[in-house]
Amino acid sequence: MGSKEIEKEDLPYLYRLLLKFPVPSLERFPSVFHGLFYAVVLPLAVVCYFLLTLFLLVLLPPLFNYLAVGLITISFSVFFLRIHLERFINAWNSVIKQMPQVWDMHKSLEEYMALVQEKKSKEK
């Protein structure tokens, strides 16, 4: 097929750099946390981001507020891009590991026909 697992060493430099940022890995948490992350943590983070940037834009003098909001936006984006990249790599690798299943249709058909014959013989 040409599909293979994604190794972190084979990624482009920007992605490898993004994966080096110290963000807590979601792999350590149970799978229930992934749903809570997107249902609770992400909306709260977006609301806090909006309120913080609004507060900084109003409170600080013009040059400093642009720099502060820019830094907050970049750090917020890097944080969530890092998490999404890690989740994509894990999802891709889990799908690729399950792909090499080969179905032998003739064998499956023979097994099915044997089950049907067995069922018919039990009915008689």
What is the tens place of the pLDDT at every residue in 97-115?
766 666 778 888 899 999 9
- pLDDT tens digits, 30-77: 767 777 877 888 889 899 999 999 998 899 898 998 999 999 999 888
pTM, rounded to two decimals: 0.60
Any long-range contacts for 21-26 (C-beta under 8 Å, 24+ apart)? 21/78, 21/79, 21/82, 23/79, 23/82, 23/83, 25/86, 26/83, 26/86, 26/87
**pLDDT recorded at residue 3:** 67
Segment of 21-25, 38-42, 47-51, 82-86 carrying the highest mean pLDDT: 47-51
